[in-house]
Chain A
Amino acid sequence: MKVTLFSTCLVDMFQSNVGKSSVELLERLGCEIEFPESQVCCGQPAYNSGYVKDSKEAMKRMINTFSDAEYVVSPSGSCAYMFREYPHIFKGDPIWEPKAKQLAEKTFELTQFIVDVLKVEDVGARFEGSVTYHTSCHMTRLLGVKEAPTILLKNVKGLTFTELPGKEQCCGFGGTFSVKMAQISEQMVDEKVLHVEETEAEYLIGADAACLMNIGGRIERRGKPIKVMHIAEVLNSL
């Protein structure tokens, strides 16, 4: 199966390991991976801040970049959801709405793709450690992917799973919210870190690099001994 990877700009620039793990994992599951060089950013930071016009050029670029893809897979629930939003954003546009719709229909978040399309629930990974999992808001509420990550994690050998208390609460990232409303964001991420500590897990796992950068950055600043990993890295551990 041919899969076109939408790495996201955060992964490309800051978390290249997540990209590498996604490639290796999908290849192990029998996929052939493509990475079109012309992909940039999905436009979400500007779009969510209200700069709709300024972000549309980036969106058109992405629509064209992935036009020939069979499946578009992204290791980020939030960025994958952004592709699913494109048809609403270009609603009424005779050229771009149908193209956006095509892209939206073939776009999946990584764990969603593995469970729903590849129909795999055990990727054969082994990972020694106790983990808890942060359910990102856009991935669970907007993209609607609630079960896939935990199904996959619970089938990893050697891994012990503890549910995160208050898991439905946002970590306080929210794109530009994290700097625009930094004081509120700080309170939110602190409560999240507190909940992670309560689980006594060694690892915090997530499926969105942005949330992990927020929670992980706070954990590191406060000198907590909790390690943060993306789910692709865990599922790619053998």
Chain B
Amino acid sequence: MAMKIGADQFKERVDKGIHDSFMRGAVAGAQDGMSTKRRNATEELGNWEDWRSHGEEIRQHVLENLDYYLEQLSENVAKRGGHVFFAQTKEEANEYIRGVVQKKNAKKIVKSKSMVTEEISLNTVLEQEGCEVIETDLGEFILQIDDHDPPSHIVVPALHKNKEQIRDVFAEKLGYEKTSKPEELAWHAREMLRKEYLSADIGITGCNFAVAETGSFSLVTNEGNADLVTALPKTQITVMGMERLVPTFEEMEVLVSLLTRSAVGQKLTSYITVLTGPREELDVDGPEEFHLVIIDNGRSNILGGEFQSVLQCIRCAACINVCPVYRHVGGHSYGSIYSGPIGAVLSPLLGGYDEYKELPYASTLCGACTEVCPVKIPLHNLLHKHREIIVEKEGKAPISEKLAMKAFGLGAASPTLYKIGSKIAPAAMNPFTVGDKISKGPGPLKAWTDIREFPAPNKERFRDWFKNREKGDKK
């Protein structure tokens, strides 16, 4: 699976989303639940705004000094006996990982949840290589057995499914015969997965934060699956986006607190695993061989530009959980593994405007995303920035809209034109007006009146009333 999901056009995807009442019920319920938990967990700290500022500062500092910290990280991983590979493209990353698989003659691979491996389509590459790839995060596992259904949320990938649908998938694909109780479903998956960890040749993980000073990396989970993926197979490959690092453990602690509270409303998740290099002499478990693959795949183009702040993202999905557009269309409508506000900013940057030009417009610029972001990414401003580029640099806006905006620009800048326009508006709209409203508007107004009434322009504008009143004609 690549970053792009599905072959449908944006409008078709949205239409499907809006008519999927199961998905919408699941998403609305999850949004309400997760937002409440997040709010409680952040208020509990008492000074959440200070935490956010601190988080922003850390992320900005890392991005400003990314070359330094990446070098430090690489040196320290190598010192501990690990291998580091810096991949500029997804092809380079996949090629390197394929090389490790071939060298190890690996047949079975267990994975813990990783968005960046989705971004580079790693599973497809490994399967083409003849490997059996098993996702061990419960959400990812559900999607994998459901014929590789794409993730619809970056933290809760199977958010679009309710428990009855999951039971049906288990019954159809795994011969599951029990109820839709989450505990029973999870237990069934755990039993199956336990055997796979023990017989896997390679474990592949993502990375929440790498620590430059020690060459360590951390994994944040609630299921403990990442611990088994890193403890049992002889070879481990960790894949990380090049921006996902911190200078020391001190900063990691801040960011993990911001992450778990923002993502799932927990003080800490059940497991926060930190690992450094391959197994050492006295260690009882851990891999014999450790590879760290650091991925650029378009990120360095974002660095230093007007969208740099998007690289501050710690993938908590708080923005997705409050987004009113995501609420009604669901994650698959975005056509990218990165959905919601962060996806609408990031996808056009990584995948181009041709593919994702609608996403920046799938927002009312209500600012809910910006308000909750734990590292203060100005998401709605970045969406606006995309629009500006699409209109003024890419020239991808529809001609009718360009003309309308040109006319608007002229009218709004010229009081005379505005005065004439607003004066004749009631007469111009008269054929469409019934009583004091317009129910079937012409031109661009049609999209409005298909859904709602539009008020008829006032015969006496406010400015006329004011002028008459000034003349002593007080009403």
Q: Give chain A's interface residues, CB within 8 Å of chain B.
A: 7, 9, 11-16, 18-20, 23, 35, 37-41, 43, 45-46, 48-55, 57-58, 60-61, 137-138, 141-142, 168-170, 172-189, 191, 213-214, 216-218, 220-221
Contacts and interface: CB of A to CB of B under 8 A. Distances in A.
Interface stretch (B63-71, B200-208, B288-296, B359-367): B359-367
Contacts of A54: 405-406, 408-409
A162 B405 CA distance: 40
A217 B329 contact: no
A19 B466 contact: yes
A55 B391 CA distance: 13
B234 to A, nearest CB: 49
14 contacts: A13-B458, A19-B462, A35-B463, A35-B466, A40-B418, A50-B387, A51-B391, A52-B388, A61-B414, A169-B324, A175-B364, A178-B447, A217-B452, A221-B452
A141 B367 contact: yes
Contacts of A169: 324, 327, 368
A184 B370 contact: no
B412 A7 contact: no
Given A13-B422, A50-B384, A40 B413 contact: yes
A178 B441 CA distance: 14
Given A46-B412, A49-B401, A181 B465 contact: no
B325 A40 contact: no
Contacts of B391: 49-52
Given A12-B422, A58-B409, A174 B465 contact: no
B451 A50 contact: no
Contacts of B388: 50, 52
Contacts of A53: 392
B129 to A, nearest CB: 41
Given A49-B387, A50-B387, A217-B453, 5 more contacts: A11-B462, A19-B465, A61-B412, A141-B367, A170-B366
Contacts of B363: 174, 177
A161 B422 CA distance: 36
A168 B368 contact: yes
Q: Taking chain A's interface residues, is the majority helix, strand, or loop, or is none over half, making it mixed?
A: helix
A33 to B, nearest CB: 8
Contacts of A13: 422, 425, 457-458, 461-462
Mostly, the B contact residues are: helix
A78 to B, nearest CB: 10
Interface of B: 14-15, 18, 322, 324-325, 327-329, 361-368, 370-371, 384, 386-392, 397, 401, 405-406, 408-409, 411-415, 418-419, 422, 425, 437, 439, 444-445, 447-448, 450-458, 460-463, 465-467
A52 B391 CA distance: 9
B463 A179 contact: no
A214 to B, nearest CB: 7
A190 to B, nearest CB: 9
Contacts of A38: 415
Contacts of A181: 14, 325, 361-362
Contact of B412 (A37, A57, A172, A186): A57
Nearest to B460: A16
A137 B366 contact: yes
Contacts of A170: 324, 364, 366, 368
A141 B413 contact: no
Given A13-B425, A141-B366, A183-B18, A188 B324 contact: yes
Contacts of B467: 37
Nearest to B325: A184
Contacts of A189: 451-452
A45 B365 CA distance: 12
B18 to A, nearest CB: 6
Nearest to B466: A35
B452 A48 contact: no
A37 to B, nearest CB: 6
A118 B17 CA distance: 48
B24 to A, nearest CB: 8
A45 B370 CA distance: 20
A20 B465 contact: yes
Given A50-B397, A170-B368, A177 B361 contact: yes
